[in-house]
Amino acid sequence: MTTLLFVVAIVAAIGAMGYKRYRKKSRVRTAAQRLGASPDNAIYIRSFDEMDEHMRQRWCSCGGFLETTGEGTREADGRRFRVARMECHECEETTEVFFDTTDLLQ
Ligand SMILES: [Zn+2]
């Protein structure tokens, strides 16, 4: 009986490891396709209020809280971007969120 429990525990541990690895892989993939992950799929905003709104609703793909650590501007292909750097409190992953501010109302 003890042996059986031992085997069950090992199988469970191996299963959890594989699942974690699988989750991490799919996480990286979805992170790249996320809205705002690159200038190509930047979040279109008309005001900085909209930008704040988006950042409030943004969570790390691990479920952790994202803190804004910096902001900058970038220009590419005649469009203007506001880039927010965010860091996760849980996994410490840093991400950049692109906002298209070309038509921003001043
Ligand atoms: Zn995270």
Every domain of the chain and the residues it spans: 1-33, 36-106
φ, ψ of residue 61 in degrees (nearest 5): -65, -15
Residues 17-26 pLDDT 10s: 888 777 777 6
Dist. CA 21 → ligand 1 center (Å):
15
Confidence of residue 39 (pLDDT cuts 50, 70, 90): very high
Q: What DSSP string runs through 11-78?
A: HHHHHHHHHHHHHHHHHHHHHHHSTTSSGGGPEE-SSHHHHHHHHHT-B-TTSPBEEEEEEEEEEETT
Spacing, Cα 57 to ligand 1 middle (Å): 14
Distance of CA 23 to the CA centre of its chain: 14
Verdict on whether the full-model pTM lies above 0.85: no
Between the CA of 55 and the centroid of ligand 1 the distance, in Å, is 15
Q: What local confidence, expressed as pLDDT, does residue 70 receive? A: 96
d(CA 92, CA 6) in angstroms, rounded, equals 34
| Rounded-to-integer distance, Cα 24 and Cα 56, Å | 24
Query: In Å, how far from its chain's centre is CA 25?
Result: 14
Report CA(18)–ligand 1 centroid distance (Å). Answer: 19
DSSP β-bridge partners for residue 44: 100
**Looking at domain 36-106, does it have CATH number 2.40.10?**
no
Q: Cα of 86 to ligand 1 centre, how many Å?
A: 10
d(CA 92, ligand 1 centre) in Å: 6
